[in-house]
Amino acid sequence: MENQNYIELKDLEVYKLSRKLSSIAWIIFCRMSFFDKKHIGDQFLRSVDSVGANIAEGYGRYHYLDKVRFYHNARGSHLEAFVHWLELLSERESISKEEFENIHGIASLLLIKLNNFIAITTKKGRETHDKC
C-alpha cells in the first residue's frame, strides 16, 4: 500500500526551483572565460548546485532534525550563491541586468519556499515527536 501523502523529491516545489536555478547557472558558467570560471564561476556553480543537493539529502533523512539540518545547509548555500556570487557576477558584468533580475526573482521565491519548508518540517517533526 502506497503512502498517499508522500511527495516525490522531483515534485517538491523547492527542489524544482533549485534545479531550475542550477540549469541557469550552468548556462552562465559554460559561456565564461577560463579565467572567470576559475575565479568565480566554479564557486558560483558549486553553491547553486549545493542548494538542491542539500534539499535532496535532507529529504532522504528519517528524523526531522536531520532533515532540517540539511535544509539549513541549503539555505546557507542559497545565500552564498545568490547574495554573494550572483551580485559579484552582476558587478563584474559577467551577466546582464536582465539575467540578474530573472535569477534574483527565482532565487527570492526559492528562499521564501525553503524557509516555509523548514518551518513546516520542524513543526510536523515536533508534533510527531511530542506524541511519543
Q: Convert the pLDDT of each residue in 6-32 to its tens digit.
A: 899 999 999 999 999 999 999 999 999
Give pLDDT tens digits for 54-65. Answer: 999 999 999 999
52-56, 114-118, 127-131, range with the lowest pLDDT: 127-131
Q: How far apart are CA 32 and CA 48, in angstroms?
A: 16
**Average per-residue pLDDT in the chain?**
94
What domains are defined for the chain?
A: 12-131 (1.20.1440.60)
Say if residues 78 and 111 touch (Cβ distance below 8 Å).
yes
For residue 127, the model assigns a pLDDT of 84
Confidence band for 130, pLDDT divided at 50, 70 and 90 = low
How much is the CA Rg of the chain, to the nearest whole Å?
17
Q: How far apart are CA 66 and CA 125, in angstroms?
A: 10
Q: How far apart are CA 13 and CA 120, in angstroms?
A: 14
For residue 1, the model assigns a pLDDT of 42
Count other Cβ atoms within 10 Å, centred on residue 93.
Answer: 8
